[in-house]
Amino acid sequence: MKKTLQGTTVLHNGVKMPYFGFGTYKVKEGEEVYNAVRTALETGYRLIDTAALYENEEGVGRAIRDSGIPREEIFVTTKVWNSDQGYDSTLRAFETSLKKLDIGYIDLYLIHWAIKGKYLDTWKALVELYKEGRVRAIGVSNFQIHHLQDIMDHFDEIPTVNQVELHPYLTQEELREFCAKHNIKVEAWSPLGRGRLLDLPELKRIAEKYGKTPAQVVLRWHVQNDIIVIPKSVHPERIKENADIFDFELSDEDMAAINRLNRNERFGKDPDHVDF
């Protein structure tokens, strides 16, 4: 099927979610996040990813409101931070995020990390928010297979999305297979490996062949693997470059060559050892 910048995937509850979006981690509250999100929306991005942790929900919301794009055409994700986990505190954190964003509703609410002893209560709160129609979809982030299994053992309502670190050095084959089996969409954070993989000779070789940049090749690889991606940049030219990946297709051979770069190497924290 042909992929497009505003193309969507269907979550297991029937909600459509764009598979290409914009990340805002470390994008500063105020003008920086406002300008970056405005540029992303003008470029055609329709998925914006934020989190309470990023402390930029107000700027994200203002950029969305000022964009002139109908609210229902934009899909917004935010996340409950670790220190707010637990049933009552999650319900309160949701209200705070909703108020800061000030865009009427949140499309997707995620548990940021699987905090031991707390994430089941947190999930209970998310299920309640979903059942009350306060949020269109609920999901998780940084959940390993055993965390997902634990949720499934305790609840009928299972996550629609699992947002995890995923890039050519960490291809997450086993987790992806598990998620596919249970109809949980996988979303890649640090899809560009935080920009640290872009000098790899193999990526440069493939990029040259298609007349594209290594960043574009990596993002295209994600999209062809049916992974939702949310690259971040504060530079308008990179925001545009990253979205310009829908006019070429990587061959099976080049997809396999990128798969082979895997080293099971994380740039971020190991979800089984969360100490923050």
Ligand X SMILES: NC(=O)c1ccc[n+]([C@@H]2O[C@H](COP(=O)([O-])OP(=O)(O)OC[C@H]3O[C@@H](n4cnc5c(N)ncnc54)[C@H](OP(=O)(O)O)[C@@H]3O)[C@@H](O)[C@H]2O)c1
Contact between 139 and ligand X per CB under 6 A: no
Q: Which is nearer to ligand X, 156 or 237 (CB)?
A: 237
Structure token pair of residue 2:
């042909």
In whole angstroms, give the CA distance from residue 243 to residue 248: 12
Is 200 a residue that touches ligand X (CB under 6 A)? no
Q: Closest distance between ligand X and the C-beta of residue 197, in Å?
A: 9
The three state secondary structure string of the chain is: CCCCCCCEEECCCCCEEECECEECCCCCCCHHHHHHHHHHHHHCCCEEECCHHHCCHHHHHHHHHHCCCCHHHCEEEEEECHHHCCHHHHHHHHHHHHHHHCCCCEEEEEECCCCCCCHHHHHHHHHHHHHCCCEEEEEEECCCHHHHHHHHHHCCCCCCEEEEECECCECCHHHHHHHHHCCCEEEEECCCHHHCCCCCHHHHHHHHHHCCCHHHHHHHHHHHCCCEECCCCCCHHHHHHHHCCCCCCCCHHHHHHHHCCCCCCCCCCCCCCCCC
What is the set of active-site residues?
54
The nearer residue to ligand X, 53 or 158, going by C-beta atoms, is: 53
Q: Considering CB under 6 A, how many residues would be counted as binding ligand X? A: 27
Q: Residue 84 interacts with ligand X (CB under 6 A)?
A: no
Among 184, 191, 203, 220, binds ligand X (CB under 6 A): 191
Q: How far is the CB of 248 from ligand X (least distance, A)?
A: 15
Residue 12 assigned ligand-binding role: no
Residues with Cβ < 8 Å from 208, sequence gap 6 or more?
none
| The one among 18, 19, 24, 200 contacting ligand X by CB under 6 A | 24
Q: How far is the CB of 113 from ligand X (least distance, A)?
A: 7
Q: Which of 16, 28, 194, 204 binds ligand X (CB under 6 A)?
A: 194
Complex with ligand X: residue 128 or 244, whichever CB lies closer:
244
- Which positions from 118 to 137 touch ligand X by CB under 6 A, shown as an x/- string? --------------------
Does the footprint of ligand X cover residue 25 (CB under 6 A)? yes
Q: Kindly state whether residue 152 participates in binding ligand X, applying the rule CB under 6 A.
A: no
Residue type for position 219: L
Interface of this chain with ligand X, residues 37 to 56, rule: CB under 6 A: 49
> Which of these ranges, 67-75, 83-91, 117-125, 231-239, lies near ligand X under the rule CB under 6 A?
231-239
Q: Does 142 bind ligand X (CB under 6 A)?
A: yes
Residue among 60, 103, 242, 250 that touches ligand X (CB under 6 A)? 242
Binding site feature residues for substrate: 112
